[in-house]
Every structure is written in structure tokens, then in C-alpha cells.
Structure 1
Amino acid sequence: MRFVRMGRLIGVLALLCATSPAFADRFDPVRTAIREQIVESGVPSIAVAVMQDGKIIWEEGFGWADREKQIAADAHTMYSLASISKPITATGLMTLVQGGKIDLDRPAGDYLGNAKLTARVGDARDATVRRIAGHTAGLPLYYQFFYEDEPVARPPMGETIQRYANLVTAPGERYQYSNLGFGILDHIISRVSGSSYADFMRREVFLPLGLTRTTVDIGPGLEPYTATRYDQNGRPIPFYTFDHPGGSAVFSSAHDLVRFAGFHLKNRLPGQKQILGAAMIDEMHRPIDPQADREEGSGYGIGFNVRTKDGYRVVSHSGGMAGVATIMQLFPDRNVAIVVLTNSSSAAPRIIADKIAATMLPGWKPSPVPTEPETRPFSPTPALVGTWKGTLSTPETEMPVELVFQNDGLIRATFGNQLPTLVSKARFERGFFDGDLNARIPNPDVRRYSYFVHLALKLDGAMLRGAATAIGDTDNDRVRNALTHWLSLTKQP
């Protein structure tokens, strides 16, 4: 194994030397950092593109798009984008809004036919298209992956909505990032347009914007131009898809994606049609429900994160999943866009994007390294101490659940007739109780893989209500699923 890794390293070094530019410019320090990331972190390849004032001033690929076939990465290599799919899907949605076919402030359920949202709390009619696009509709944490070498078929989106589209917080109350929401949006796009989501996006977004290396999943004939997704051990990951393609399934190149970003900066680029007016673009970049509980100083518009950092307004999105790490940043006040794509999970896109931004933007500082929240001993409030009983609802059945909060911080959970289990990582903030535990949920979708249960419950007087999410364990970089169920508990006298 040591010789294999050494051979791989020699191959990477040879490729990096071969692709070094023969001239020096202001991005040379970034090139050096990219080569260091590839060698030190084992990322197979990195592709970058930078636009300023409507012109691509740098685009380049480094490393291997496909190690086994010895295909080098370049600016036109197609990468899996993961969640950068969301602003792209949102752009497609807004073309229908602009055409008067969708009203952002109508209930999403009006466009779903028989596949309705279920309001466990609040009113489903307040779950508007706008709020779904901004992750404030009350939908829960959700993702579900399907690998081509495993015998599990992707369900129709209507079935997924019927099973899992539960509003677990009142619409507008709380920001909760939800892939399910963008699965619902791609379903709405398909129903309203009369085309498949993939065909609609190709016809109404990709081709008009001149994005010739951008597709939903991998388009026919584009396989040779697509970067292979690799796990942390350098092994290719089998192709996978989702039941929320609008949130995760787009592939694009650094060249195409920076052109997409340039469109959102209102630049008129060669070969692009203005599929959205300036007012529609501004609407996408405006935070939705700013009162919703979210990290201070940041917001989410229609498919875009919006924040201010180091004095600069930043409109952005990132993506991460098995074999993918990506970032796209727009700086509207400076008319600058940055794209970094990789074909393995790593922190490289954030690190490289920061170095590019520091080159372009005076005073830009590196982003803090994400850390796990500090684990502190749990000390329950008097309102929590005691015994809580209620019901867990799954798509097929219901199960009794009991939670017991002790004064000393110990929490016991009993699901059905299972043995009591302890709740770990407990915390209570802003009226919500969170914690993890091991329990079995009677749902065939969650039985396919090992998992733990994450609780996110709102304290409302004598009731604790919210999400019990079965989160599948990651296996060799294979992300599995996060399937949320409704849990309602009442404090016992």
C-alpha cells in the first residue's frame, strides 16, 4: 500500500509540474497553495475560476479528474456540485415566477397536486414557495442517497413528499436547511412546466446561459468530461443520486459555474440570454424571514446564502457530500465571482477561495476553521425536569415514546418496548432541546443502514414537539440518509 501511495504521489507531482503556467501573475501564490492541498490532503483535483467585471481573469485545473484513466482536470471538467445545485434550481424556479406561472407567496401545496405537505404544527398554507426556497417553511433536515451498486430504487418525488414533508416548526419561525425543500421545488418546476426537471433546466437555464458543460446528473456523452468522485482513501465512489435532485444533482465546470455567477452579478456575457430581469435577481439575493432563528449576521435568500464579511457583501453557496466539496462566492459590490471545485471531501475549496478572495479584496481574512460545538455538562431548566410521554409518528405507524429529564442532567429515552437508552450531546438553546440517542424506528426506509436518532424538540409550555431524525452512519464516505419523523410529548403531572 505504501508503494501504491508513493506512486500516486509521484504521478500527481509530475502532473502538477506539467501543468504549471510559464508565466507569473498575482495568482501564483494561490497556485502554490492548490498544489500543496493536492499533495497534503490527497484531493485528486481542484478546478478554479475567477471573474471580475464580467471577464474571466483566471481559470485552471490541477490534478486528476480521473486517476485510473489518467485524465487531467481543467477548467472545463464537469464536477458534481452538491448543494450549489440549489441556487441553480432556484434560478430555474424564478424564470417561472417571472413568467407569471408561479407565485412565490402562494402555498407550495397549491402546485403539488395530491402530494401535500403535512402541518404537524402551524398552517401548511404558510409554507409558501418563497419560504421553501429559503429553508424557513418548517421542513426538517432531510437527505436520501441511492448508489448504483445497491439494490434500492429511488422513489417518485410525490411518494417522498407524502412520507416526509412534515412541517416540524411553524413556517417562518426557524431556519432549517432542508434538501427536501429543493426536491419539492424541482417537483413544482416539473409539474408547472410540463417537462422533467432535467429537461426544463437544460432548455430554460443551461442553454440560454451558454452553460454547455452543465447538466442534471451526467448527461449522455458527457461521461469522459466528468470528474470521478473519490472517497477519503482515494477509491472511486460508485455513481449515486437522490430523491431531491433539485438540491444536489447538478454537475458543472468551473468555467460554466463562474459564468452562472457572472449572470447573477448582472454582467452581460457573450452567449448569454437575460433569462431573469434585475429585479428577479435582487429578489433571490434578499434574505427571507430575517426574524427566523439563524446564525447571527447571515441570511438565506432564494437559493443563496447572504452575509457580510470583512466589510464585503457576500452572496454564495457551498456544497459537500461523498466525494464532493465545492464553493461559489459572489461579491456584488466589487463585481467579483470565485469558484472552486474538487472531487473529494475536504476543506480545500474554503481554503483556496479565501486565498483568492484575499488576492482580490483588500482586508479579506481567512474564514475560521469549522469546529464541533463544545460539549458541556447538560443542566436542564426546571421546565424540562420530569417525565414526558407521547408519540412518534412514522409513515406507517405510531410508537409510544418516553423521555425522563433528571435534575443531575441525565436523560433517559424509551422508544416503544425497547430498553431505555441515554441521550447524549444534550443542549437546550433558544427554546429548543437537542440530543442524540440509539433507538429503533419502525420505518423500512431507515432499516437499510445503521443509524442514530437526533432529537430537535421545541419546548412549548407543557409540550415538547418536533423532529426525531434517523441519521445513517457514513460508511467509507458513503453518505446514507437523514429521515425525520414527528415526535410530540406532553409533560406528566
Structure 2
Amino acid sequence: MSDKKESVSKAITRRDFLYRSAAAGASVPLLTSNITNQEPATERVVTPPAEFKAVRDFIGEKIRTGIVPSLVIMVVKDRQTVWAEAFGYADLETKRKATVNSIYKIASVSKPITVTGLMTLVDRGLINLDQPANDYLQDANLRAYVGSASGMTLRRLANHTSGLPIHENLFYDGAQPLSASETIRGYGFAAWEPGTHFQYCNLGTAILGFITEAVSKTPWARYLKRTLFDPLGMRRTFAELPPGREKEAAGRYGVDITTQYDYDLAGRFVRTGPHSTDHPGGSSMWSCASDLVSFAQMHINGGVLNGTRILREESARIMQNLTVESNEEPGRKYGVGWWGDSSLGRHNFGHSGGGPGMGVMLSAYPDDNTITVVLTNYYGAMAPEVAKRLARVLLPNSQGTSGRPDPQNNVSGPSATPVTLTGTWGGKLLYPAGDIPLRLVIHDNGMAEVGFGKRPLVKMNDVSMKNGNFTGSTEGVLIRRPGFQGVSVLEFQLRREGSRMIGICDTYAKGYFELAHWVELENQP
């Protein structure tokens, strides 16, 4: 997405532009479908078989005790729905009950959808997964502080090994999010040599969405609607909805939009404020259970659903091939857009999603032709926990390891060689508004102090040193913008390389942002 495109109309926001574009005609020839003119199906409640009683009782208890506002569950096996049910309230204030057609924010489940859109361009020969992303970006380029930006390929963006650091950036109270080019200029850098380190990153997938728009010459949301949502009958799925006007923008499906909640200190539900992001392809979408089932079924089928081919079979298999070990939890592996659990002992793929007011889980088991979807409108562990309980019922004999590891793609571990970090270090923190001079003093007793610019040194918290790596945190004012005027936590994650100390300062304010800034220091005599 270029700044030029984004400035087409200053009377509407970027998010409004993308939403309105979704309703317009495409500017390039796109996939057609036999089902685009059909009315969307209205799903009905399907009572589960007896073997799901324990899972249903667990959900019911959590609803009754106020752990989760609402939950929608759908289990499909061999294209037959064996369980479809809604629990609780889509909106607590109005007592509007959730239904199996309710539309939820799906957070990071957006990622495999965004990657699927990109893969349709791969199938058309317009994109090569192993080309550098910079070959396709128009107004801003990725850079590498370690290794080379040429190693930041589309494949590595999709499997979180491009070297990009963590990135979450939410904008409230009508604040305008950064443009694609502003985000890339500020935060699009490799903090590790591309291909050597796994780091889950919303920005990587968002960049794939930006590239999809640039290469297709079609607004991203419109491209997904015409290429994926319409052909698959996903009428209750939206790439984005303008914050605060979701129901209006969803049109006839506005009645199905859920309200998002979080807990306060007393354990009461409070509304989550409407927000937008600068990483839409990574976390911006809305959908319902049946639409997500259709999307997963297309992937299980090798890229085709109801006679309509979305992807080549090879492309669907590439996405499901879990080649990258993650550092998130034992057994977790990533493919191209999908992740899976290698401990199940059978082919599986899926994705979870979480954030302010959203917690969802989509799981697919191709060998069993089974799909499960769990959607909630609060940020918590309920959806993954229910998905695990469903897997125990559906796959009672699952155990062992699976997957096809690719040694060239598996990430490397840290060195175990002891490295001395004590001493005085001086350098800078690279910040979009201007570099900030930085001093770090690490004492023999394990205490560390940090100073910014001309300010005095302050003692750091949670200091840890191991295998040449340093972590420690402090608090201060670094990011100020409309919608956020608070103090941030600044957590340094550094590693020694010769006479230098390099890494990131992970700056975060929970519920608002988690943004990395590059740090480079030299050992001072």
C-alpha cells in the first residue's frame, strides 16, 4: 500500500477506505465462483453427541460463573456438522444472546487468510515466495541490522523467521494508525539474521497483505473479498471494519456483530474500546464459525471447495507443511501461515488468535477430515482450552510426534559459551523520531543501570545475564500519541557480539502496543 493510494480521499480514514473498497468492483481479473450470488447459509444449532458432554458442561460452567461473556463452538467431521452451539451474550449490556451465526473478531486467525490471499498470486506466477520482500514493496523497504535484507523473503515473513521483532500497535479513540510505509520505515527491520531465529510477528503477515495489494493493484480488502470470501461463501467475514462503526459497516450482518470485553480488577467485564492497527493482515478480521469451517475445509481439500478452486493443491500443501520449530510451547511448529502441534502424531494445522476483547481457535485435522472452531469475545485462554478438550474427544489415540522438519529452516539455539557482559557500554537506541543516546552499566554484582540522553543512570529491573545475553527493564515516556499518553515499559533484550552489544528495546504498554527499537552499544574503556 503506498501513501499515494492511502491519500486518495482525506475525508475518510485508511480503514474506511479499505472497507468501502471491499464493496466495489475489482480492477484486475480475479477468480470467479459458482456460488457468489447465493444467499449466505444461516446455521442452526446442532446438539452434540454424548461424548462431548464433558466439554459442553465445562463451557456451561464458565458461562454461568462469568469467566467468558459468550462462546460459539462448531465441530465438523466428514463435511457434517456434529456440534454447533452458542453460549452466553454477544452483548452483555443489551442481553443480546450469541448465536451460531455471531461474528467475532478473530485476531491472528487473520494470518492464514492473509497468506492464502498472497498464495493466489503465487499461483498466478506474479509472486515468488523465496524472493526478497523488498522486490515487491513500493514506497518503503525492509532493512537488516543483522544479515542482509535480501534474506527477508516472503516465505520467511509467513513463517516468522524473517528476523522481524515482535510488533503490536493498536490505535484507540479515532487515532489514525500509521500507514504501511510509515510502519515499515519505523519498525521493518531484521534484529536477527533472516532464517536463523523464530519470532512471532504481526508485522510480517501485514507486509504480505501490503504486497498483495501492490502486486494485484487492488485494495487488499477488496482482493480478499473477491478472491476468497465470495467464492467460499464467507459472507460474514470482513478483512476490516471501521472501529466504532462495525455494525453499520457490516450491513445486513450487523445484527451478528459481537461486543468485545475484558476483565477489570474485580473480575467484572468491561467493554474493550474500538481500535484499529497498523498490521491489518495480521489481526484485523471478523468472521463466524461456519465461514472459518469453509476456509479450513478448502485447505483440507487441497485448495478446492464445492467445485471452486481457490489454490493449487501444491500451494495448499506448502502452507500446511510445518517446518519451523517455535519457541512458544512444546510441539508447536509453523508452516506458511498455519501452525500445528507436532505432538498429536497426525497431520494437523490451525491458528489461534487473541487480543483485547478476542480469543479464538481454528483447528483442522486432515487425516480425520475434522474441523473445530471456538470463538469468544474476551481475551483469555478459554478458546485454546476448549479446542484441546475437543481434540481429546475427537482424537483419543493421538500421541507422539509428527511433521516433516526441514533442517535448513529450523531455527538455531543460543550459544552455551560463557561471555562477560560487565562493564560500561555506550551507543544509541534507534527511534523513528530520532536516535536516542544510550548508556548501559553492568556491575560485577549483577546490578545494571541505564541512562537515556543526558538523563542520569537509573537502576534496571528484572536483570538477567546468560550465555552472552542480557535482559533488563525500566519505565519511561518514549511513545506519546493521540489515544495514549502513558508510561511504557522498556525491556532490553541484548546479546554480545565481540566488542558490541546489540539487540532490541521492547517497548510496551499492555493493550496498546509492543514495539521493538534497535539498540547498538560499544564497550567503553
TM-score range, shorter chain: 0.7 to 0.9
Structure 1 counterpart of 2:77: 52
Does residue 278 of structure 1 match 2:301? no
TM-score by length of 2: 0.81
Cα distance in 2 for residues equivalent to 1:109 and 1:202: 26
Structure 1 counterpart of 2:113: 88
Structure 1 counterpart of 2:272: 237
Compared with structure 1, are the counterparts of its residues 156 and 236 closer, same or farther at alpha carbon in structure 2 (3 Å cutoff)?
same
Task: Give the letter aligned to residue 133 of structure 2.
Answer: A
Structure 2 counterpart of 1:331: 365
Does residue 209 of structure 1 match 2:243? no
1:220 to 247, 250, 264: 250
State the number of aligned residues: 453
Q: CA deviation at 1:108?
A: 0.3
1:312 to 329, 332, 346: 346
Q: Is 1:145–1:240's contact at 8 Å kept on the other side of the alignment? A: yes
Alignment of 1:88-487 (within 5 A): 88-147=113-172, 150-218=173-241, 219-221=249-251, 222-232=253-263, 233-266=268-301, 271=306, 273-288=308-323, 297-363=331-397, 382-428=419-465, 431-441=468-478, 448-472=485-509, 474=510, 479-487=511-519
After superposing the two structures, state which structure 1 stretch, 296-305 or 92-101, moved more: 296-305
Structure 1 counterpart of 2:100: 75
Q: Is 1:53–1:267's contact at 8 Å kept on the other side of the alignment? A: no
Q: Is 1:210–1:272's contact at 8 Å kept on the other side of the alignment? A: no
Cα distance in 2 for residues equivalent to 1:386 and 1:413: 12
Compared with structure 1, are the counterparts of its residues 272 and 198 closer, same or farther at alpha carbon in structure 2 (3 Å cutoff)?
farther
Q: Is 2:174–2:275's contact at 8 Å kept on the other side of the alignment? A: no
Identity %: 34
Q: CA deviation at 1:270?
A: 6.2
TM-score by length of 1: 0.86
Compared with structure 1, are the counterparts of its residues 133 and 68 closer, same or farther at alpha carbon in structure 2 (3 Å cutoff)?
same
Q: CA deviation at 1:56?
A: 2.5
Q: CA deviation at 1:425?
A: 2.5
Q: Is 1:286–1:306's contact at 8 Å kept on the other side of the alignment? A: no
Q: Secondary structure at the match of 1:113?
A: coil
Q: Secondary structure at the match of 2:62?
A: helix
After superposing the two structures, state which structure 1 stretch, 381-390 or 446-455, moved more: 446-455
Task: Give the letter aligned to residue 195 of structure 1.
Answer: T
Q: Secondary structure at the match of 1:287?
A: coil
Q: Secondary structure at the match of 1:216?
A: coil
Q: Is 1:174–1:294's contact at 8 Å kept on the other side of the alignment? A: no
Cα distance in 2 for residues equivalent to 1:298 and 1:252: 25
Q: CA deviation at 1:24?
A: 5.6
After superposing the two structures, state which structure 1 stretch, 430-439 or 115-124, moved more: 430-439
Cα distance in 1 for residues equivalent to 2:305 and 2:143: 45
Q: CA deviation at 1:438?
A: 1.8
Cα distance in 1 for residues equivalent to 2:199 and 2:158: 11
Q: Is 1:421–1:439's contact at 8 Å kept on the other side of the alignment? A: no
Cα distance in 1 for residues equivalent to 2:374 and 2:48: 22
Structure 2 counterpart of 1:492: 524
Cα distance in 2 for residues equivalent to 1:262 and 1:442: 43
Q: CA deviation at 1:381?
A: 5.1
What whole-Å deviation, never above 9, does each CA across 1:39-86 have from its counterpart, x for those lacking one?
A: 224311000111222333222111111223332212211100001100
Alignment of 1:5-84 (within 5 A): 25-84=50-109
User: Cα RMSD over matched residues?
Assistant: 2.5
After superposing the two structures, state which structure 1 stretch, 441-450 or 89-98, moved more: 441-450
Cα distance in 1 for residues equivalent to 2:307 and 2:446: 59
Q: Secondary structure at the match of 2:214?
A: helix
Q: CA deviation at 1:458?
A: 2.5
After superposing the two structures, state which structure 1 stretch, 161-170 or 262-271, moved more: 262-271
Q: Secondary structure at the match of 1:299?
A: strand
Q: Secondary structure at the match of 2:213?
A: helix
Task: Give the letter aligned to residue 220 of structure 1.
Answer: A
Cα distance in 2 for residues equivalent to 1:203 and 1:275: 11
Q: Is 2:46–2:83's contact at 8 Å kept on the other side of the alignment? A: no
Q: Is 1:84–1:328's contact at 8 Å kept on the other side of the alignment? A: yes
Q: Secondary structure at the match of 1:210?
A: coil
Q: CA deviation at 1:355?
A: 1.6
Compared with structure 1, are the counterparts of its residues 22 and 192 closer, same or farther at alpha carbon in structure 2 (3 Å cutoff)?
closer
What whole-Å deviation, never above 9, does each CA across 1:249-292 have from its counterpart, x for those lacking one?
A: 111111111221122211788646220122111111223555x8
Compared with structure 1, are the counterparts of its residues 42 and 297 closer, same or farther at alpha carbon in structure 2 (3 Å cutoff)?
closer
Cα distance in 2 for residues equivalent to 1:103 and 1:269: 21
Compared with structure 1, are the counterparts of its residues 429 and 357 closer, same or farther at alpha carbon in structure 2 (3 Å cutoff)?
farther
Q: Secondary structure at the match of 1:75?
A: coil
